[in-house]
Amino acid sequence: MGNKIHPIGFRLGITRDWESRWYAGKKQYRHLLAEDLKIRELLTKELYPAGLARIDIERAADNVAVTVHVAKPGVVIGRGGEKIKVLR
């Protein structure tokens, strides 16, 4: 009998990368984690019609870079880039 391992956890660092890439100290960790969860929740609600596949969040100093993988990028961008401006 073998143990059951989650397929994403099994592949992390080999064929698949982490969805959050940042480091924080003890005092800031919970605040940044809560912020990550809020960002993911908001984007999941807003981008569900676009076929959302994955959200990657990277932090460096005070910068937050969010990469969104979707099936229909035109739905996210909108006409003339109006929807992307609202999301920013």
pLDDT in tens, 15-44: 777 788 889 899 999 999 999 999 999 999
Question: What kind of fold does domain 18-87 have according to CATH?
Answer: GMP Synthetase; Chain A, domain 3 (3.30.300)
- What is the number of alpha carbons within 13 Å of residue 28 lying toward its C-beta? 9
**Cα–Cα separations (whole angstroms), residue 26 to 23, 32, 57:** 10, 11, 19
Which range has the worst mean pLDDT, 28-32, 52-56, 74-78, 84-88?
A: 84-88
Mean pLDDT score of the chain, rounded to an integer?
Answer: 88
Provide the whole-model pTM: 0.78
In the sheet where 52-60 sits, what is the strand order? 20-21, 52-60, 63-70
| Domain ranges (residues) in the chain | 18-87
pLDDT for the residue numbered 1: 65
Percent of the chain with pLDDT over 90: 45
